[in-house]
Amino acid sequence: MSLLGDTSTLFLREMLIFKKNLRVNLIRSLIFPIIFILLLGSFGSTPKNVPIAVVNYDNGASALNFTNLLQSGSSVAIVSQTTQQEAATLLSEGKIAAIVVIPSGFSSGMDRNIYVYLDNSQPESSEVAASTVDSTAAQTGATAVASEVSGGGRSLVSVVSNYVYGASSNYLSFVVGGILVMVASFGAVFTSGFTLLSDRELGNLKAFLTTPINKFSILLSKIAYGTFQSILSAYIGLAIGLLYGATIAAGILGFLELIWIVFLVGLGFSALAIALAARMKQLQTYALVAQTLTLPLSFLAGAFVPVTLLPSFLQPVVAVNPLYYAVNAVRDIMIKGSLPISLLVSTTLILLSFTGVMIILAFFLFNKSSKEL
């Protein structure tokens, strides 16, 4: 009879089984995002009261004003006002993350440069110090010249600093955005494909195939269930991320857009999972293929590292990776603060066509395999 009717019956079955194993399913949905957000998110949590030393060669009012301003927030704490040599020692001992040098001509206006020496071995702390100095300098009309000290500071080497994210960006939001997309794709691949294969192994699939249903409803119900399970994980992940401190720059509308994009990722990757599992017989094979496919796809989407840092030979893979477009949209929403409507439409179209292609492929492969048995 109707494809949709059969699909909803089979989806009902999945949900009854889901309900029976509710606790296990919820724990599973929780664990993955929690681990990733705590693990990766902690790298990016902004340190407070970063210890720095100030070497003041100028004793004028402007220099005093500058140091006061520097301390006014709770980002950095000046632990020592000392000579450059002593400060260098403190830096090499890891007691401070940065040295701020105010040159002697600062107050008189002869040298408006502020020299910052950053301890590269403490990237989070030195980044906070650098951005604080930057903003303080901007307020006083001075220019901050950053130098990074590598290897614990034995030699003071000047390096042009290359910040991946603007000083105001929130690393946690960056990571949570990537994790959302990754959780949605993983959840999908590890739900729908697995249940299809276990149904095949347990003989359930054969039992369904001997009923007068439209056999594609089996696939559609699996895709629906995979989508459900994956977006559940991802939404739980989003909630955890927001509680943990991530923000959605685009506000309520952004939240809705985020939910939509994550849904599309879950849908597309459930369809991919079913296409993969359509002809497979063994769970182990499937697990292997699914893992080797999804993890690299997350990395090649810029979920954790910006894709611009990837080598050029991988760029074509990035361009055809649907996750890349999803991650991009999520970043726009969470960090940049708005997702242009054209980008929302194009991302939607890309993910939907990916889903469509996968469903057709799954139907084709499943049709073949069910006739061979």
List residues near another protein by CB under 8 A: 1, 5-6, 9-10, 12-13, 16-18, 20-21, 24-25, 194-195, 198, 200-204, 206-213, 283, 370-373
* Residue closer to another protein, measured from CB, 13 or 112: 13
Burial (Cβ within 10 Å: 0-12, 13-18, ≥19) of residue 270 = buried
For residues 192 and 220, is the Cβ–Cβ distance under 8 A? Answer: no
Q: From 262, 294, 266, 288, select the one nearest 197 (Cα to Cα).
A: 288
DSSP string, 177-205: HHHHHHHHHHHHHTTHHHHHHHHHHHTHH
Q: 101 in helix, strand or coil?
A: strand
Shortest Å distance, C-beta 28 to another protein: 9
Shortest Å distance, C-beta 222 to another protein: 13
Shortest Å distance, C-beta 197 to another protein: 8
For residues 182 and 258, is the Cβ–Cβ distance under 8 A? Answer: no
For residues 140 and 65, is the Cβ–Cβ distance under 8 A? Answer: yes
DSSP string, 21-76: THHHHHHHHHHHHHHHHHHHHHHHSPPSSEEEEEEES--SHHHHHHHHHHHHSSSE
For residues 181 and 303, is the Cβ–Cβ distance under 8 A? Answer: yes
State the helix-helix crossing angle for 22-44 and 216-244, rounded to 10 degrees.
40
3-state helix, strand, coil in the chain (%, to 5): 65, 10, 25
* Residue closer to another protein, measured from CB, 43 or 364: 364
What CA–CA distances, in Å, run from 274 to 4, 119, 149, 291? 18, 49, 51, 14
Residues 26 and 18: their CA atoms lie apart, in Å, by: 9
List the structure tokens of 10: 């089979």
